[in-house]
Structure 1
């Protein structure tokens, strides 16, 4: 019989709806039940494409004996971290403080007042590698609760007190300058892997936000070192197994430092960020590889992640069924030489093995290999049309395999990132279908996720909006998507919607005293700690994303409060950028835009015309572009007239403008590399 999760919209929670565990969703009612029964809460946090979450579910949550222990001694709460990033952040901070590490599934034991007192991540069904079994953990926590309740309460109270006393220094409220940005670049250079690209060792994550900073820094200063790190890293990733060489799109991370073997889940946020990065790399260098990867990644998002309602699903799972019907990580993507020959025949099979680095020994498990391009020409000399035909046949054969599951949850923030990427990529490469897909997703967010007070819901699924309130990253990333749409389409309504969202950020997420930002709204649900974190994780932090959107909106409109809030928010980047640049890349990219101006570009004339396209191709960091008829609906067009009846561009900084130009080459120079 299904448990309480059967009524939820989260695919992750629904995966647990038939567990014998009596799961509750996160709710006041669950904590009231714990208080009434006099038992602690077992909080389990994960997400649908998490491999080890599935492992623990199969081993423990689907086991009747384990479930009976859980039901007898605890009120059990299951949380989707993608629906409730605030709950995840608060308790992950506690887990990391207590154990020195974190991860998912996250397992936390709480009092009925939501105070944590025992922590862990994955627990095996029997003792293993020095870890206790999950039943042993359950029994130990139950005995501690029954026999040493006062001691447990004291531990929980101390943990909450310690967390509450952790105050984040917001910096001095001044944006970084040349000194801090140069030190950040130096720090990245020290961490750079000159052999394989990227930063640090294994596991290696795509450094999309750091690459954006490097591209902007190069555009503003001419630093060839910054461009080289960005370009080489992008090439290594695109030729590695982390990139899907058949279907496009990137996996979550590489388990090795060479980008060969990925963790196979494919996330919307990674692909949105990387699509935009590769488009910007092409814009800076003209790289054919960057162009191909940007478009293939965009097509992957539209082809594989777009939902029936026009939004974009969160992720594809890492696991899928192998030939025996067993769920295996990467089964959908890997090949052996024999499998290649079976699909392609001897000659083309051998060609594909050489081209994609598929060996008899294998690069993955049980002699299978992840497809990659280990050399610039794939290691073979082959006609491009023959390679294209091989790819097409392999892709068709792969489509006959059982596909990974898809998390159909539409997350507002990640859709904002996808809107920005698709709108910009569509404009740069003359793909109106991609712009249309971005508009479709934006329409869904306005229609379904925004209420009449411009408040955002975090998620929806199958056209039904979820109950969880949007957090800072939702407001910031959706605003960024809308601002990009305004620049690409010339439609003022998107700027207006962005303004509604950013006004809410100023009212609900900014500390008026320090200028620091919180991840949750002032009038949102009270947790044991109000989370805030300016450092980037898999996607831009809400803090730095808000700074970027506020800065761009101020450039579009001249709104002083938004510019001031952006500058104050960048104070933390000034403090952290020189010390930990890898973990605040988006903030550094926003700081580059602030130092550059950013430049305000008004194109009086035709949307999509020659000057509008040149403006969008400009590499000036964070430049905002408004295009439309003279005195059109976008604020930057006010008072902008044609010169000699021709399309005319106005380039300004701080609303102090150069002379207008009708010459595309002159505009390109004004928005080009240095300035």
Structure 2
């Protein structure tokens, strides 16, 4: 089947793909029809993968994809397919793994050349239109690939077959199971500690990413083993990034990463998942330290989320772009004159709390950051500083805004829903919990035939969901159950696991595939074991199974969780990197913690506030009002706690401590004092 000789992206749901719908390139979306066209024509495929907030994706688009001469070469030599990596992480992970197997550095835009049957034989990331940065010009690349294809098609095909087999073994293979061992997390945390920048936080060197799965490993190590150095590494990392330019000091929220080692110059895109994980980490940090910095940054980030990221219906958009008016960071940076115009006589006071930085090579306006002393002063004098920031925010609202990728991704929303529910509990913010409830309902109501979508943009929905979607929404449902006490969320969680089993479980019932069994356009059905900026799909699945089985006391579900964890660890043991999410989740399986509280659910409650402010990522909480007729086993062994008086039962695995009735004693217990 030969598709029309024109750009076909106008009808796609992805804002990223729509950004390319006016290109002179004859783009196709990833589909069986596009793959069939390549086979019919006998042409190689040029696959370009990116996302809406990607700065270098925009650069390559402006330089090459919007250029008639470049497009003419692409259209003559290749079948050109565009993919939004956020819509199709399954496709992205396959070809990114292929690029890594070629010994190349990964990143986006991902530019891959495939045989007509979709097997990769060469690729790279960003290519400039003209040769520079030590890289060949894009037209040179296109013509060289075409020449190689025409003259060495047989050998390229053999190489593509071998590369595809390698990727399949790495991403889809079964490696047996491994015994879950407490030492695995300790070993990982020790190796991460060795990579941490003791002065600046994060991992040493540049660029600097928040790397939430690694920070989670360190935090769990402290909670389990008492490694205070690991706790301090997380706290230093948070404090440094929250003082740097990677954090939006005017409007709240974290950018994707900093290009330098000091958290100063970010790529200014803001991703939903980074900020979900920031809220969770700051919540844990506040529970451990009482440092008001973490509370304030949570409040600011949630305010940004509710102000700028909600889409119609209540779910949350995927990202905000780095660029506006063709310039990276223009929306977020300030000149001294602009600050003075916005604040007038108060501008001098503003510079008591902040400083400008413009490092070598940065061509934009200065970037706002804080020194450690200014950060402490800003928190202690929050009321005065908040008024100044409100004026700057109002002035910034008059600027041309960065583009927003308004598609709602189910797994990313699941992460944010859980973060909002947890923070709402901790800080008594019913409005945050309500926002989480609305987002959850929006996504569930979009289901079709009982199956979740992966992505939504208005009336357009992308089905079927990925395994990461069901896992993230299961964890979100559990967080909402903890925050609201509504058993409806437990029903949702069970339904999500049922769908996960139906559409994603492998035939041996040892784990799950990322794509559903009825997905017809994936060249390889991968597991989803590798972390990216968020924990892997497999890590999230193990966590969801452990939490749900712990809450319900369902022995069959627990057996499934343990089997999945053992086989996930077996595969993780064969990989060199990207397995922190699996190891963290398996640590939960080794030591699932459960807290059951019977108490008055009003202002006279003494035990519930203690649990709410003692956030622990290992623990699941069940809160019931006095007098409840419990209809399910709540303690290990199917034991029902008495419900005629206040009490708290803290359980680790199958062992529960004696009931606690004193709030101070419960606080000491939860803090492991």
**TM-score (normalizing by structure 1):** 0.91
Is 1:489–2:484 an aligned residue pair?
A: yes
Q: Which residue of 2 aligns with 1:174?
A: 179
Answer yes or no: is 1:258 the counterpart of 2:262: yes
Moved more, 490-499 or 63-72: 63-72
The 2-side partners of 1:421 and 1:169 are apart by 32
> Which residue of the partner structure matches residue 670 of structure 2?
671
The whole-number CA distance in structure 2 between the counterparts of 1:572 and 1:286 is 39
2:48 paired with 1:44? yes
Q: 2:113 aligns with which of 103, 109, 123?
A: 109
How far is 1:258 from its partner? 1.1
- From 226, 237, 241, the equivalent of 2:241 is 237
SS of match in other structure, 1:377? helix
Q: Residue deviations 1:191-235, cap 9 Å, x none? A: 121111112211111132333333333233333212211211111
Q: Which residue of 1 aligns with 2:513?
A: 518
Conservation of the 8 A alpha-carbon contact between 1:170 and 1:516: no
The CA distance in 2 between the partners of 1:600 and 1:174, in whole Å, is: 27
Report how far residue 123 of structure 1 moved: 1.4
The answer to whether the 8 A contact 1:217-1:592 is kept is no
Deviation at 1:283, TM superposition (A): 1.1
**What's the CA shift string for 1:290-349, capped at 9, x where partnerless?**
11112211222121111111100000000012xxxxx1111111122232223223x532
Cα contact 1:185–1:226 (8 A) shared by 2: yes
Aligned to 1:324: none
Structure 1 pair 399/560, CA: closer, same or farther in 2 (3 Å)?
A: same
Aligned residue number for residue 6 of structure 1? 10
- Measured against aligned partners, the alpha-carbon deviations of 1:30-51 in whole angstroms (never above 9, x if no partner) come to 1222222232221111110111
Structure 2 residue 526 is the aligned partner of structure 1 residue 531? yes
Q: Structure 1 residues 302, 634: CA separation in 2 closer, same or farther (over 3 Å shift)? A: farther
Whole-Å separation in 1 of the counterparts to 2:562 and 2:443: 28
Work out whether residues 184 and 579 of structure 1, in 8 Å CA contact, stay in contact via their aligned partners in 2. Answer: no
The match for 1:59 is: 63
Q: C-alpha distance in 2, partners of 1:192/1:137?
A: 38
Kept after mapping to 2: 8 A contact 1:340/1:353: no
Give the stretch that moved more between structures: 499-508 or 538-547.
499-508
Instruction: Provide the residue aligned with 1:628 in structure 2.
Output: 624
Within a 5 Å distance, the mapping from 1:6-405 to structure 2 comes to 6-166=10-170, 170=175, 172-177=177-182, 179-321=183-325, 327-345=326-344, 347-358=345-356, 365-366=362-363, 368-377=365-374, 384-405=382-403
Give the CA RMSD over aligned residues.
2.8
> How do 1:560-575 residues align onto structure 2 when only pairs under 5 Å count?
560-571=555-566
Are 1:556 and 2:561 counterparts? Answer: no
- With over 3 angstroms needed to count, the CA separation of the structure-2 counterparts of 1:536 and 1:665, relative to structure 1, is same
Q: CA deviation at 1:475?
A: 1.3
Instruction: Summarize the Cα distance change of 1:39–1:158 in structure 2 as closer, same or farther, 3 Å threshold.
Output: same
Q: How many residues align?
A: 662
In structure 2, do the counterparts of structure 1 residues 229 and 4 end up closer, same or farther at CA, with 3 Å as the change threshold?
A: same
Deviations 1:93-112 (A, max 9, x none): 11111142111111112222
2-structure distance, mates of 1:222, 1:519: 35
C-alpha distance in structure 1 between counterparts of 2:633 and 2:9, whole Å: 48
- Secondary structure at the counterpart of residue 371 of structure 1: strand
The 1:272–1:634 alpha-carbon spacing in structure 2 relative to 1, beyond 3 Å, is farther
Aligned to 1:589: 584
Q: 1:462 aligns with which of 440, 449, 458?
A: 458
Q: Are the aligned partners of 1:192 and 1:198 in contact in 2 as well (CA < 8 Å)? A: yes
Describe the superposition over 1:387-428 as per-residue Cα deviations: whole angstroms up to 9, x where unpaired. Answer: 222212111111111111100010000000010001111111
Write the distance in 2 (CA, Å) between the matches of 1:277 and 1:578: 26
Pairwise CA distance, 1:54: 0.8
Contact 1:335 1:370 in 2 (8 A): yes
Cα distance in 2 for residues equivalent to 1:419 and 1:633: 27
Q: Distance in 2 between matches of 1:128 and 1:486?
A: 55
SS state at 2:49 partner: strand
Q: Aligned partners of 2:186, 2:52: CA distance in 1, in Å?
A: 40
Deviates more, 1:195-204 or 1:368-377: 368-377
Query: Could you report, residue by residue, the CA deviation over 1:146-165 in whole angstroms, capped at 9, with x for unpaired residues?
Result: 34433333332232233334
Give the Cα–Cα distance (whole angstroms) in 1 for the partners of residues 632 and 369 of structure 2: 45
Deviates more, 1:632-641 or 1:66-75: 632-641
1:364, 1:370 within 8 Å by CA — same for their partners in 2? no
Moved more, 246-255 or 656-665: 656-665
Q: Secondary structure at the match of 2:28?
A: strand
Q: 1:28 to 1:190 in 2, by over 3 A?
A: same
Instruction: Determine the C-alpha separation between the residues in 2 that align with 1:507 and 1:654.
Output: 28
Say if 1:491 and 1:634, in contact at 8 Å, map to a contact too: no
CA distance in 2, matches of 1:579, 1:223: 27
Aligned-partner Cα distance in 1 for 2:609–2:54: 41
Paired residues of 2:184 and 2:583 also in contact (CA < 8 A): no
* Greater RCO (Cα-Cα under 8 Å, separation 6 or more): 1
Q: Which residue of 2 aligns with 1:474?
A: 469
Distance 1:123 1:588 in 2: 36
Aligned partner of residue 44 in structure 1, secondary structure? strand
Secondary structure of 2:634's partner?
Answer: helix
Compared CA separation, residues 260 and 224, structure 1 to 2 (3 A): same
Change (3 A) 1:42 1:485: same
The answer for unaligned runs of 5 or more in structure 1 is: 322-326
- Equivalent residue of 1:244, what SS? coil
For the residue of structure 2 that corresponds to 1:42, the secondary structure is strand
In the alignment, the residues of structure 1 paired with residue 633 and residue 405 of structure 2 have an alpha-carbon distance, to the nearest angstrom, of: 39
Residue 117 of structure 1: SS of its match in structure 2? strand
Report the 3-state secondary structure (helix = DSSP H, G, I; strand = E; otherwise coil) of the residue aligned with 1:358: strand
Between the aligned partners of 1:149 and 1:258, the Cα distance in structure 2 is 47
Contact 2:454–2:464 (Cα < 8 Å) also in 1: yes
What SS is found at the alignment partner of 1:651?
strand
Change (3 A) 1:439 1:384: closer
Deviates more, 1:45-54 or 1:628-637: 628-637
C-alpha distance after superposition, 1:233-289 (max 9, x if no partner): 111111111111111110001111111111110000000011011011111111101
SS of 1:563's partner is helix
Can you list the C-alpha shifts for 1:485-517, whole angstroms capped at 9, x where unaligned? 011111111111111112333444344648344
Any runs of at least 4 consecutive aligned residues in structure 1 with deviations exceeding 6 A, and if so which? Answer: 379-382, 575-582
